[in-house]
Amino acid sequence: MPATLTTLFTPANFINGSWSFEGDGTFNTVVDKYHGTELARVPNASEAQMEAAIAASYGSRTALRKMSAGERSAKLEALAALIAQHEEEIAQLMVQEAGKPIGAARIEVARSITTVRTAAAEALRFWGDVTPMDFGAGVGKTAFTKRFPIGVIAAITPFNFPLNLVLHKVAPAMAVGCPVVLKPSPQAPLCAFVLARFMEQIGWPKEAFHVLMCGVPVAEKLVKDERVAMLSFTGSDKVGWHLKNICGKKKLALELGGNAAVIIDEGVDLAAAAKTVAIGANVYAGQTCISTQRIFAVRSVFAQFRDLLVKEYAALKAGDPSDASVIVGPIIDKGHFERIGSWVAEAVQGGAQLLAGGKAVDASRNVFAPTLLTGTKDSMKVSCAEVFGPVAVLEEVADFDHAIAQVNDSTYGLQAGLFTDSVAHMKQAHNELEVGGIIIGNVPGFRIDSMPYGGIKDSGLGREGVKYAMEEMSEPRLLVY
């Protein structure tokens, strides 16, 4: 790793303002996802260290609550400035630890800056509501609510957005005055340790922010602890629902999986839609929960769209994520690489037709080709489960009503995309699609960091997006006089 990158982070747990190179005696090794070389060995925290982090966070609540909104906002602005100062270095670190193509990594860092600056602005205007009272028994009275931080936030984050998804939990918590204990992904935790370094530099209260790498039992201690007021988790639906079952009475925000769908209606620019969909299904090797996985084209345009989409697939480049022309980099690890290949093989053996890909580009580096299938069955894993890889299915539907029904025929409901020029179809989609968000003229992977983001069904509970996360992390208190 270049020396400039090694100076960005400390490979140790950050607890109560100190870096600890000791733990439970085991270590988490972080590797370059394309080259396979070791980047860092981080000690797994012990139960006693987790206890220290929780206790310190719990003890910091009063002081953090008393910090003025202006001071919290200024600290967030200082954090954004530090990220911007090291923008390219952080992007290069993402390429290595997460296997994220450099173009996507640069976009993530830019979004991270936006997330923090949005939180800085929201801290200044986040307040409460005036409550109408001047009628009936309330005549002559005034009432309003003021929002207060709920307390300690347990944040558990995934590998695929190693900085921005961390900040979608940390920045709103800072804006409202909640302490955070963060457990990042074992596959890509280094950007979280960069953030800890920056929190030191901006002078955030040391008792109010901790980053610990740890095994499952220690992580579950964090989830179960009654001093923790809220769990904010982003990851798989299997793990997320398990954590819900064990977390007790605390508040909960779950951002889980999906098999996101897009509808191609008649009357749209099919060539432009095909280019957007091809990228949306394959950028970062499809390793996002709103990656385009199911594509439904109405019968009148299906054949033309299919041919255009196959052509766009042929133009996608897979390989070294440090190459700016690469869209599809490595799968995060060998286990997921092999799983993706087995799901595709299973679909083909079951009668599905390969339109593109379907094989490894470089098995030694876990690079899988952008893959497009058609003629799949709803019961096939590539359709009904979350692939989390560069795999999509394209299917013909009779009409728009059938397309709506197919999108809804899923245990997931995160976001959906719709290419249409029909206002009536846009309204119908808004009324009938069972998802958390509908993106018109784009793929379901579109996200702006201030918008409410989250799903229904097995895709989770609650909403992120800075202001919306701040609402989750605070509670209104009513005053009547």
- The total of other beta-carbon atoms located within 10 Å of residue 160's CB is 25
Q: How far apart are CA 201 and CA 287, in angstroms?
A: 32
Cβ burial of 49 (10 Å; 0-12, 13-18, 19+) is buried
Instruction: State the catalytic residue, choosing from 178, 214, 247, 289.
Output: 289
Is 207 catalytic? The answer is: no
Is 247 catalytic? The answer is: no
CA nearest 204: which of 246, 183, 233, 173?
Answer: 173
Instruction: Report the first-to-last Cα separation within the chain, whole angstroms.
Output: 62
Q: How far apart are CA 365 and CA 450, in angstroms?
A: 35
Q: How far apart are CA 182 and CA 211, in angstroms?
A: 5
Instruction: State the catalytic residue, choosing from 108, 207, 255, 395.
Output: 255
On whether the CB atoms of residues 290 and 438 are closer than 8 A, the answer is: no
Q: Which residues are catalytic?
A: 255, 289
